[in-house]
Structure 1
Amino acid sequence: MVQHLFSMNLKWSEGRNGTGNIIADNLKTKISIPREMKGPGIGTNPDEMLLGAAATCYLITLATLLENSKIAVLDLSMQAEGFVDVTNGVFTYEKIVHKPIIVVQDLSERQQKRIDRLAEKAEQSCMISKALKGNVQIECEVQIIQGSING
Protein backbone atom coordinates (compact mmCIF):
# COMPACT_ATOMS: atom_id res chain seq x y z
CA MET A 1 0.00 0.00 0.00
CA VAL A 2 1.24 3.48 -0.87
CA GLN A 3 0.01 6.29 1.33
CA HIS A 4 0.53 10.00 0.72
CA LEU A 5 0.58 12.48 3.58
CA PHE A 6 -0.54 16.07 3.11
CA SER A 7 -0.11 18.51 5.97
CA MET A 8 -1.00 22.09 6.70
CA ASN A 9 -0.24 24.50 9.52
CA LEU A 10 -3.01 26.81 10.70
CA LYS A 11 -3.16 29.77 13.05
CA TRP A 12 -6.28 31.61 14.25
CA SER A 13 -6.72 34.81 16.23
CA GLU A 14 -9.78 35.89 18.17
CA GLY A 15 -13.23 34.28 18.05
CA ARG A 16 -15.76 33.64 15.30
CA ASN A 17 -15.01 36.87 13.44
CA GLY A 18 -11.27 36.58 13.74
CA THR A 19 -8.84 35.74 10.99
CA GLY A 20 -6.22 33.13 10.46
CA ASN A 21 -3.56 31.80 8.14
CA ILE A 22 -2.95 28.47 6.49
CA ILE A 23 0.42 27.37 5.22
CA ALA A 24 1.06 24.21 3.21
CA ASP A 25 3.75 23.29 0.69
CA ASN A 26 2.12 25.18 -2.19
CA LEU A 27 -0.56 27.19 -0.42
CA LYS A 28 -0.26 30.20 1.85
CA THR A 29 -3.28 32.40 2.46
CA LYS A 30 -5.41 34.21 5.00
CA ILE A 31 -8.69 32.64 6.13
CA SER A 32 -11.90 33.84 7.74
CA ILE A 33 -15.63 33.35 7.62
CA PRO A 34 -17.04 34.79 4.36
CA ARG A 35 -19.10 37.99 4.32
CA GLU A 36 -22.10 35.98 3.07
CA MET A 37 -22.06 34.22 6.44
CA LYS A 38 -21.61 37.48 8.41
CA GLY A 39 -17.87 37.11 8.78
CA PRO A 40 -15.03 39.49 7.91
CA GLY A 41 -14.48 38.03 4.43
CA ILE A 42 -10.69 38.19 4.61
CA GLY A 43 -8.81 35.68 2.47
CA THR A 44 -10.41 32.40 1.57
CA ASN A 45 -12.76 30.24 3.60
CA PRO A 46 -13.69 26.58 4.05
CA ASP A 47 -16.54 26.83 1.52
CA GLU A 48 -14.26 28.12 -1.25
CA MET A 49 -11.56 25.62 -0.32
CA LEU A 50 -13.97 22.67 -0.51
CA LEU A 51 -15.23 23.91 -3.87
CA GLY A 52 -11.64 24.41 -5.02
CA ALA A 53 -10.64 20.91 -3.93
CA ALA A 54 -13.61 19.31 -5.68
CA ALA A 55 -13.22 21.42 -8.84
CA THR A 56 -9.47 20.97 -9.27
CA CYS A 57 -9.67 17.24 -8.60
CA TYR A 58 -12.48 16.88 -11.15
CA LEU A 59 -10.69 18.99 -13.79
CA ILE A 60 -7.39 17.13 -13.42
CA THR A 61 -9.20 13.78 -13.55
CA LEU A 62 -11.14 14.86 -16.64
CA ALA A 63 -7.98 16.07 -18.39
CA THR A 64 -6.28 12.74 -17.63
CA LEU A 65 -9.22 10.69 -18.94
CA LEU A 66 -9.40 12.76 -22.13
CA GLU A 67 -5.65 12.38 -22.70
CA ASN A 68 -5.72 8.64 -22.00
CA SER A 69 -8.60 8.31 -24.50
CA LYS A 70 -6.50 10.08 -27.15
CA ILE A 71 -9.04 12.91 -27.52
CA ALA A 72 -7.31 15.99 -28.91
CA VAL A 73 -8.44 18.81 -26.63
CA LEU A 74 -7.77 22.33 -27.89
CA ASP A 75 -8.92 24.02 -24.69
CA LEU A 76 -10.25 22.87 -21.33
CA SER A 77 -11.70 25.30 -18.80
CA MET A 78 -14.32 25.17 -16.10
CA GLN A 79 -16.55 27.14 -13.81
CA ALA A 80 -17.64 25.58 -10.52
CA GLU A 81 -20.39 26.58 -8.12
CA GLY A 82 -20.98 25.54 -4.52
CA PHE A 83 -24.40 25.81 -2.89
CA VAL A 84 -24.65 26.16 0.89
CA ASP A 85 -28.06 26.01 2.56
CA VAL A 86 -28.78 27.86 5.78
CA THR A 87 -31.78 26.55 7.70
CA ASN A 88 -32.37 27.61 11.30
CA GLY A 89 -28.78 28.81 11.58
CA VAL A 90 -27.35 25.48 10.41
CA PHE A 91 -25.04 25.62 7.39
CA THR A 92 -25.10 22.63 5.05
CA TYR A 93 -22.94 22.29 1.92
CA GLU A 94 -25.60 20.84 -0.35
CA LYS A 95 -24.35 20.79 -3.92
CA ILE A 96 -21.40 21.40 -6.23
CA VAL A 97 -21.92 21.96 -9.94
CA HIS A 98 -18.97 21.50 -12.31
CA LYS A 99 -19.35 23.29 -15.65
CA PRO A 100 -16.47 22.19 -17.86
CA ILE A 101 -16.04 23.63 -21.35
CA ILE A 102 -14.19 21.25 -23.64
CA VAL A 103 -13.05 22.50 -27.04
CA VAL A 104 -12.09 19.77 -29.52
CA GLN A 105 -11.18 19.90 -33.19
CA ASP A 106 -13.40 17.04 -34.35
CA LEU A 107 -16.88 16.68 -32.89
CA SER A 108 -18.96 13.88 -34.32
CA GLU A 109 -22.03 12.60 -32.47
CA ARG A 110 -20.01 9.56 -31.42
CA GLN A 111 -17.18 11.77 -30.12
CA GLN A 112 -19.64 13.91 -28.16
CA LYS A 113 -21.16 10.85 -26.45
CA ARG A 114 -17.66 9.59 -25.65
CA ILE A 115 -16.65 12.91 -24.07
CA ASP A 116 -19.92 13.04 -22.09
CA ARG A 117 -19.17 9.56 -20.71
CA LEU A 118 -15.64 10.61 -19.74
CA ALA A 119 -16.97 13.74 -18.03
CA GLU A 120 -19.31 11.58 -15.96
CA LYS A 121 -16.56 9.06 -15.23
CA ALA A 122 -14.27 11.88 -14.02
CA GLU A 123 -16.85 12.89 -11.43
CA GLN A 124 -17.26 9.29 -10.26
CA SER A 125 -13.54 8.55 -10.04
CA CYS A 126 -12.20 11.84 -8.63
CA MET A 127 -10.84 11.30 -5.12
CA ILE A 128 -12.57 14.37 -3.65
CA SER A 129 -15.92 13.50 -5.27
CA LYS A 130 -15.66 10.03 -3.74
CA ALA A 131 -14.90 11.56 -0.33
CA LEU A 132 -17.98 13.79 -0.56
CA LYS A 133 -20.33 11.09 -1.89
CA GLY A 134 -23.45 10.72 0.20
CA ASN A 135 -22.96 14.15 1.79
CA VAL A 136 -22.70 16.67 -1.06
CA GLN A 137 -24.53 16.28 -4.36
CA ILE A 138 -22.21 16.76 -7.35
CA GLU A 139 -23.51 17.60 -10.80
CA CYS A 140 -21.80 18.19 -14.13
CA GLU A 141 -23.02 20.47 -16.90
CA VAL A 142 -20.64 19.71 -19.74
CA GLN A 143 -20.33 21.99 -22.75
CA ILE A 144 -18.47 20.53 -25.75
CA ILE A 145 -17.48 22.91 -28.53
CA GLN A 146 -15.96 22.22 -31.91
CA GLY A 147 -13.08 24.61 -32.48
CA SER A 148 -10.05 24.95 -34.66
CA ILE A 149 -6.35 24.99 -33.96
CA ASN A 150 -6.23 28.64 -34.99
CA GLY A 151 -9.03 29.54 -32.54
Structure 2
Amino acid sequence: MTQTPSKVLYTAAATSTGGREGRAVSSDGQLDIALTPPKEMGGTGTGSNPEQLFAAGYAACFNSALATVGRRERVDTSGAEVTAQVGIGPFERAYVLTVALTVRIPGVDLAEAQRLAELAHQVCPYSNATRGNIEVTVTAIA
Protein backbone atom coordinates (compact mmCIF):
# COMPACT_ATOMS: atom_id res chain seq x y z
CA MET A 1 0.00 0.00 0.00
CA THR A 2 1.35 3.41 -0.95
CA GLN A 3 1.49 5.96 1.85
CA THR A 4 1.11 9.63 0.97
CA PRO A 5 1.28 12.44 3.54
CA SER A 6 -1.65 14.83 3.77
CA LYS A 7 0.87 17.68 3.49
CA VAL A 8 4.58 17.67 2.57
CA LEU A 9 6.39 19.68 5.26
CA TYR A 10 9.88 19.54 3.78
CA THR A 11 11.56 18.18 0.69
CA ALA A 12 15.27 17.38 0.62
CA ALA A 13 17.05 17.38 -2.70
CA ALA A 14 20.52 16.10 -3.54
CA THR A 15 22.31 15.55 -6.81
CA SER A 16 24.77 12.76 -7.48
CA THR A 17 27.43 12.84 -10.16
CA GLY A 18 29.62 9.86 -10.89
CA GLY A 19 27.51 7.36 -8.95
CA ARG A 20 29.34 5.37 -6.30
CA GLU A 21 32.65 6.91 -7.42
CA GLY A 22 31.54 10.50 -7.51
CA ARG A 23 29.98 13.16 -5.36
CA ALA A 24 26.65 13.95 -3.71
CA VAL A 25 25.61 17.53 -3.03
CA SER A 26 22.41 18.76 -1.38
CA SER A 27 20.50 21.59 -3.01
CA ASP A 28 21.31 23.91 -0.09
CA GLY A 29 25.01 22.98 -0.10
CA GLN A 30 24.96 21.70 3.50
CA LEU A 31 25.92 18.23 2.29
CA ASP A 32 28.81 17.95 -0.15
CA ILE A 33 30.45 14.59 0.06
CA ALA A 34 32.86 12.48 -1.97
CA LEU A 35 31.63 8.96 -2.64
CA THR A 36 33.71 5.83 -3.14
CA PRO A 37 32.79 2.17 -2.90
CA PRO A 38 33.93 0.50 0.34
CA LYS A 39 36.93 -1.80 0.19
CA GLU A 40 34.58 -4.77 0.66
CA MET A 41 33.00 -3.92 -2.70
CA GLY A 42 36.29 -3.36 -4.54
CA GLY A 43 36.68 0.35 -3.88
CA THR A 44 39.25 2.42 -2.09
CA GLY A 45 37.04 3.14 0.90
CA THR A 46 38.44 6.67 1.06
CA GLY A 47 35.05 8.40 0.82
CA SER A 48 31.60 7.81 2.13
CA ASN A 49 29.06 5.59 0.40
CA PRO A 50 25.28 5.50 -0.03
CA GLU A 51 24.87 2.84 2.67
CA GLN A 52 26.62 5.03 5.26
CA LEU A 53 24.40 7.96 4.32
CA PHE A 54 21.27 5.79 4.59
CA ALA A 55 22.46 4.43 7.95
CA ALA A 56 23.04 7.94 9.32
CA GLY A 57 19.65 9.15 8.13
CA TYR A 58 17.79 6.09 9.42
CA ALA A 59 19.52 6.22 12.83
CA ALA A 60 18.73 9.93 13.26
CA CYS A 61 15.13 9.55 12.13
CA PHE A 62 14.57 6.49 14.34
CA ASN A 63 16.04 8.33 17.35
CA SER A 64 13.56 11.16 16.76
CA ALA A 65 10.71 8.63 16.50
CA LEU A 66 11.91 7.13 19.79
CA ALA A 67 11.77 10.59 21.39
CA THR A 68 8.20 11.02 20.14
CA VAL A 69 7.21 7.64 21.56
CA GLY A 70 9.00 8.45 24.84
CA ARG A 71 7.01 11.65 25.25
CA ARG A 72 3.74 9.82 24.53
CA GLU A 73 4.61 7.03 26.98
CA ARG A 74 6.09 9.42 29.56
CA VAL A 75 9.50 7.74 29.48
CA ASP A 76 12.75 9.73 29.33
CA THR A 77 14.50 8.72 26.12
CA SER A 78 16.67 11.84 25.90
CA GLY A 79 19.92 9.87 26.25
CA ALA A 80 18.99 7.23 23.69
CA GLU A 81 21.49 6.00 21.13
CA VAL A 82 20.43 4.37 17.88
CA THR A 83 22.87 2.57 15.62
CA ALA A 84 21.78 1.58 12.13
CA GLN A 85 23.81 -1.05 10.30
CA VAL A 86 22.96 -1.10 6.61
CA GLY A 87 24.11 -4.08 4.60
CA ILE A 88 24.07 -4.52 0.84
CA GLY A 89 24.29 -7.74 -1.10
CA PRO A 90 23.11 -9.58 -4.17
CA PHE A 91 19.63 -11.05 -4.44
CA GLU A 92 18.60 -12.79 -7.63
CA ARG A 93 19.58 -10.31 -10.40
CA ALA A 94 19.76 -7.20 -8.22
CA TYR A 95 21.22 -5.85 -5.00
CA VAL A 96 19.18 -5.37 -1.84
CA LEU A 97 19.69 -3.77 1.54
CA THR A 98 19.30 -5.06 5.08
CA VAL A 99 19.02 -2.93 8.20
CA ALA A 100 19.76 -3.78 11.82
CA LEU A 101 18.73 -1.10 14.30
CA THR A 102 20.24 -1.27 17.78
CA VAL A 103 18.68 0.91 20.48
CA ARG A 104 20.12 1.79 23.88
CA ILE A 105 18.12 3.88 26.34
CA PRO A 106 20.05 4.64 29.55
CA GLY A 107 18.00 4.19 32.71
CA VAL A 108 15.32 2.10 31.00
CA ASP A 109 15.14 -1.67 31.54
CA LEU A 110 15.67 -3.91 28.54
CA ALA A 111 12.07 -5.09 28.14
CA GLU A 112 10.76 -1.52 28.26
CA ALA A 113 13.46 -0.33 25.84
CA GLN A 114 12.47 -3.09 23.39
CA ARG A 115 8.79 -2.12 23.70
CA LEU A 116 9.59 1.54 23.03
CA ALA A 117 11.82 0.60 20.09
CA GLU A 118 9.01 -1.48 18.56
CA LEU A 119 6.63 1.46 18.96
CA ALA A 120 9.19 3.79 17.35
CA HIS A 121 9.47 1.33 14.46
CA GLN A 122 5.77 1.96 13.77
CA VAL A 123 6.26 5.76 13.85
CA CYS A 124 9.58 6.27 12.03
CA PRO A 125 9.20 7.41 8.39
CA TYR A 126 12.24 5.34 7.35
CA SER A 127 10.71 2.25 8.95
CA ASN A 128 7.42 2.94 7.21
CA ALA A 129 9.23 3.39 3.88
CA THR A 130 11.17 0.13 4.18
CA ARG A 131 8.46 -2.06 5.77
CA GLY A 132 7.71 -5.04 3.58
CA ASN A 133 10.57 -4.19 1.19
CA ILE A 134 13.74 -5.13 3.05
CA GLU A 135 14.70 -6.99 6.20
CA VAL A 136 14.80 -4.61 9.20
CA THR A 137 15.50 -5.86 12.71
CA VAL A 138 15.09 -3.76 15.85
CA THR A 139 16.96 -4.79 19.00
CA ALA A 140 17.25 -3.03 22.34
CA ILE A 141 20.50 -3.50 24.25
CA ALA A 142 21.57 -2.63 27.79
- TM-score clears 0.5: yes
Any stretches of 5+ residues in structure 2 without a counterpart? 1-5
Q: 1:59 to 1:17 in 2, by over 3 A?
A: closer
On the 8 A contact 1:80/1:98 being kept in 2, the answer is yes
Cα distance between partner residues in 2 of 1:89 and 1:136: 16
Partner of 2:23: 20
Partner of 1:102: 105
Give the Å deviation of 1:139: 0.9
Give the Å deviation of 1:114: 4.3
User: What TM-score does the superposition give when structure 1 sets the normalisation length?
Assistant: 0.73
Cα distance between partner residues in 1 of 2:14 and 2:70: 35
Partner of 1:120: 118
Q: 1:88 to 1:34 in 2, by over 3 A?
A: farther
Q: 1:24 to 1:32 in 2, by over 3 A?
A: farther
Bigger Cα Rg: 1
Q: Which of 56, 77, 80 matches 2:81?
A: 77
Secondary structure, aligned partner of 1:130: helix
User: What TM-score does the superposition give when structure 2 sets the normalisation length?
Assistant: 0.76
Over the aligned positions, Cα root-mean-square deviation in angstroms equals 2.6
Partner of 1:149: none
Partner of 1:136: 134
Any stretches of 5+ residues in structure 1 without a counterpart? 145-151
Task: Give the number of the structure whose residues are more often strand, by fraction.
Answer: 1
Cα deviation per residue 1:35-94 (whole Å; 9 max; x = unaligned)?
22223434321111222222221111012211232213462112221222235774221x
Secondary structure, aligned partner of 2:59: helix
Greater length-normalized contact order (CA 8 Å, ≥ 6 residues apart)? 1
On the 8 A contact 1:17/1:40 being kept in 2, the answer is no
Residue type at the aligned position of 2:119 = K
